[in-house]
Structure 1
Amino acid sequence: MIKVKLSEICDLQNGYAFKSSDYVENSNTLSCRMSNIRLGGIFDIEYNPRFLPDSFADQYKGFLLKDGDLVIAMTDLANDPKLLGVPTLVQTDGRNILLNQRVGKLIIKDSSKVDNKYLQHVLNDPKTREYYRKFASGGLQINLGKSDLLNVEIPLPPLAEQRRIASILDQADELRQKRQQAIEKLDQLLQATFIDMFGDPVSNPKGWDLVNLESLLAKKLISGAYFPKETYVNSGGVPMVHMGDVFYGVVKPDNLKQVNISNEEIKKYKITNKDILIARRSLTYDGAAKACLVECSNQDMIFESSLIRLSPNLVKILPEFLYHYLNNNDVRNKFIIPYITKSTISGINQANLNKVTVLLPPLAKQEKFIEICDKFKQLGKTLTQDLSKLDELFKSLQNQAFNGTL
């Protein structure tokens, strides 16, 4: 199977840097951002949507996307890139969607030689992703430039063979996506349960107490540690949670980077499953101040400097309730985002985090919610295990497809 550089068959258009002040409450025009590209190459414009004035569809028509356009993530976290180089096909559903910065649009030069669905699959191949990972070094943020992105080599069989491969992988991928969607539906149902039990957290129709976060802490907020490269070890060290580990809800102790540090440092930066980690800074405005739970572990764990440790006073508030509260979209928009700085690297400091308003229902009500959460977790665990098996099967198919043996 012949290989070509992506630049031979594609060009790339960068997105427009829309300002946060451009966004409106609702419209038929949305911004396509990094967060709309989901793991596995799923396009989800409904994920934390950002609306722009409908007049922008004409004003910025050069950035208007259409159904079937292939867009790709061009920015990620340096220490743990999960979305860097991930492609997805746009679905507009009749809405105006404008290409934002940090997302690029691949423009096929000759559609008689390249199938866009095949191109999506080959760019999502682990070998291609590994090529992009080599740019993941140094600093907090990594960006794929146009030349870097287009320099990758991909296998390019005849068009008919591309379509055959794409059809097989589409069918296999559909199974994975359905399982992933089922997991996301569980999360949506849990959010709906939260609203049903506690009411809208902003309007507070049930009249619960509203207090500042600072009054609910067992100890003061603390930012994590920075350790130089020479302290990192492959084994025998203390697992350390980095910012890239917190973007998927719950930190799992497995596969964390390890550092060799003193007992005093471990004691100072230790975290448990009773703590919540808050992203102190983020490449995206949406990621700043994102809350994350820590899974129970038999070994010590610490956290790095881009995170803040939040230790709830368990007599007043339970960690899992507080986690769901802080990640509620309405809560974020009303009580958290006003404290987030607007810059290239968005963030929140400890003083402002302490000021965040928190809804405080009785502990018994919180405990009942957590009982429901536990049932959802068990079902989610089963679905996640099934998804993991489907992922392995899909990787096997990818390997065969792009080695010419499918």
Structure 2
Amino acid sequence: MSDGWQSLIVKEFSRLTAGGTPSTTKMEYWSNGTIPWLSSGEVHKKRIRYVDGYITEEGLKNSAAKLIPIKTLLVALAGQGKTRGTVAITEIETTTNQSIAGIIVDKGICYPDYLFFNLDSRYDELRSISGGSGRAGLNLEILGNIDVSLPPLPEQKKIASILTSVDEVIENTQKKIDKLQDLKKATMNELLTKGIGHTEFKDSELGRIPKSWEVKSLEHVCKKIWIGLVTTMTKFYVEKGIPLIRNSDIKETGINMSKLIQLDIDFSKKHSSRAVQKGDVVTVHTGDIGTSAVINDLLNGAQGFATLNSRVNKSLIVPQFYAQILNSEDFKLRAKRVVTGDGRDNLNLKDFVELLISVPQSLSEQEKIVTTLLSLEQNIERLIHKLTQTQSLKKALMQDLLTGKVRVQV
């Protein structure tokens, strides 16, 4: 341990408490409530500045709920999915349900934000000490006995300040991404229904569209539409071969190259008629149906595993425009109306080819629409890259600063 640091367990410098839930059958405990009440699912907010629920004074008095102060550490004791072990810190006074532990620290020993980052970095550890998977859970005793390495208080504050600054960059970048994604969605809806510079419109099966546009089925604008390989191919997976595109690899911004499986070359050659070429469009057949991407140079000759593949007639439609239409909210909603399957939606080939789209006769207009939308996508991708880099930086800083590997100057 670094000089000047000490190892204490949480209960040596904190008071631990749990919340409660007023009876949901008594409206007087909830109706017009003004006291914030937090459920375990909201711990994912990390910094609790607002809550979704409120209780009344009567609800507070007649339940195990307790009002906890600002800068209380919160740990989800249980919850669905990945909730258990999630850590947050309050920026408001609030109450919580019984599935959340509150850690109120002695600020003369521990700086709350430092403990927040310390415990937040130990998510996997918290889940493992709570009993693993299934319905395992944490409790106040387990949390109270967790060891924490504490540097001198001024150093705790400096470390927390550095990590908070990084968090602010992450939060602001995410806000910019969200705004751009909303802008792209609105721009896509505008351009794919009204086009560019049109003044005359007509009614169609798909609603109002520019007078010069036409409504066509997918099979009418494509030379070929087919489904990818559907046989079991695990034994043909190799380290280096032909890329195999799965439905989960298809994203609106392109194919996720990082997780592609490689397929035996000889096996792929036997099914060459199903291979995709540069300019083809692959579409999710099961899962996030409708999501589509254009095949680039690197994936020329790749195979798709149960993907819906389209080879467009380039004299009628630009491949990137075709993909943008398939990625639109309107198209996906219409596709979902014809899906089949129990639990997991499947978009069958026979239904897919009959789906309608509205198409500008002018390829030039299609290309202009694509250019506008791709520009927005590129800006979003740039910000996502920045977000990923900043998140990696934070992870490295936490590893260095919270262990004393790198000391900060106070």
Query: 1:268 aligned to 2:255?
Result: no
Q: Please state how far the C-alpha of 1:126 moved relative to its aligned partner.
A: 9.0
Q: Please state how far the C-alpha of 1:86 moved relative to its aligned partner.
A: 11
Residue 146 of structure 1, aligned match among 114, 118, 135: 135
Q: Please state how far the C-alpha of 1:84 moved relative to its aligned partner.
A: 10
Task: Measure, in 1, the Cα distance between the counterparts of 2:189 and 2:160.
Answer: 41
Contact residue 253 and residue 297 of structure 1 kept, 8 A: no
Task: Measure, in 2, the Cα distance between the counterparts of 1:10 and 1:295.
Answer: 56
Task: Measure, in 1, the Cα distance between the counterparts of 2:177 and 2:400.
Answer: 28
Task: Measure, in 1, the Cα distance between the counterparts of 2:400 and 2:344.
Answer: 40
Task: Measure, in 2, the Cα distance between the counterparts of 1:295 and 1:41.
Answer: 39
With normalisation by structure 2, the TM-score equals 0.59
Q: Please state how far the C-alpha of 1:367 moved relative to its aligned partner.
A: 1.2
Residue in structure 1 matched with residue 94 of structure 2 by the alignment: none
Task: Measure, in 1, the Cα distance between the counterparts of 2:237 and 2:369.
Answer: 39
Distance change in 2, residues 1:249/1:129 (3 Å): farther
Task: Measure, in 1, the Cα distance between the counterparts of 2:226 and 2:86.
Answer: 38
Task: Measure, in 2, the Cα distance between the counterparts of 1:292 and 1:175.
Answer: 30
SS for the counterpart of 1:336 is helix
SS for the counterpart of 2:312 is coil
Task: Measure, in 1, the Cα distance between the counterparts of 2:126 and 2:322.
Answer: 36
Query: 1:108 aligned to 2:120?
Result: no
Give the number of equivalent residue pairs: 319
Residue in structure 2 matched with residue 311 of structure 1 by the alignment: 311
Contact residue 122 and residue 154 of structure 1 kept, 8 A: no
Task: Measure, in 2, the Cα distance between the counterparts of 1:303 and 1:42.
Answer: 42
Residue in structure 2 matched with residue 339 of structure 1 by the alignment: 338
SS for the counterpart of 1:280 is coil
Residue in structure 2 matched with residue 15 of structure 1 by the alignment: none
Q: Please state how far the C-alpha of 1:403 moved relative to its aligned partner.
A: 3.9
Residue in structure 2 matched with residue 79 of structure 1 by the alignment: none
Residue in structure 2 matched with residue 245 of structure 1 by the alignment: 249
Contact residue 114 and residue 159 of structure 2 kept, 8 A: no
Q: Please state how far the C-alpha of 1:197 moved relative to its aligned partner.
A: 3.1
Distance change in 2, residues 1:304/1:193 (3 Å): same
Contact residue 89 and residue 120 of structure 1 kept, 8 A: no
Q: Please state how far the C-alpha of 1:167 moved relative to its aligned partner.
A: 6.0
Aligned amino acid, residue 276 of structure 1:
V
Task: Measure, in 2, the Cα distance between the counterparts of 1:325 and 1:129.
Answer: 45
Distance change in 2, residues 1:171/1:258 (3 Å): same
Residues 261-318 of structure 1: CA distance to partner in whole angstroms, max 9, x if unpaired?
4242462342244222222222xxxx2333234444166422223x222222222222
Contact residue 339 and residue 352 of structure 1 kept, 8 A: yes
Task: Measure, in 1, the Cα distance between the counterparts of 2:273 and 2:231.
Answer: 12
Task: Measure, in 2, the Cα distance between the counterparts of 1:303 and 1:295.
Answer: 14
Query: 1:217 aligned to 2:209?
Result: no
Distance change in 2, residues 1:147/1:126 (3 Å): closer
Distance change in 2, residues 1:342/1:237 (3 Å): closer
Q: What stretches of structure 1 of length at least 5 have no aligned partner? A: 12-31, 44-67, 76-82, 92-104, 136-143
Q: Please state how far the C-alpha of 1:109 moved relative to its aligned partner.
A: 3.3
Contact residue 289 and residue 347 of structure 1 kept, 8 A: no
Distance change in 2, residues 1:267/1:366 (3 Å): same
Residue in structure 2 matched with residue 204 of structure 1 by the alignment: 208
Aligned amino acid, residue 372 of structure 1:
T
Distance change in 2, residues 1:198/1:110 (3 Å): closer
Contact residue 70 and residue 120 of structure 1 kept, 8 A: no
Q: Please state how far the C-alpha of 1:339 moved relative to its aligned partner.
A: 1.0
With normalisation by structure 1, the TM-score equals 0.59
Q: Please identify the structure whose Cα radius of gyration is greater.
A: 2
SS for the counterpart of 2:136 is helix
Distance change in 2, residues 1:249/1:364 (3 Å): same
Aligned amino acid, residue 194 of structure 1:
M
Contact residue 17 and residue 103 of structure 2 kept, 8 A: no
Task: Measure, in 1, the Cα distance between the counterparts of 2:328 and 2:173.
Answer: 23
Task: Measure, in 2, the Cα distance between the counterparts of 1:380 and 1:190.
Answer: 9
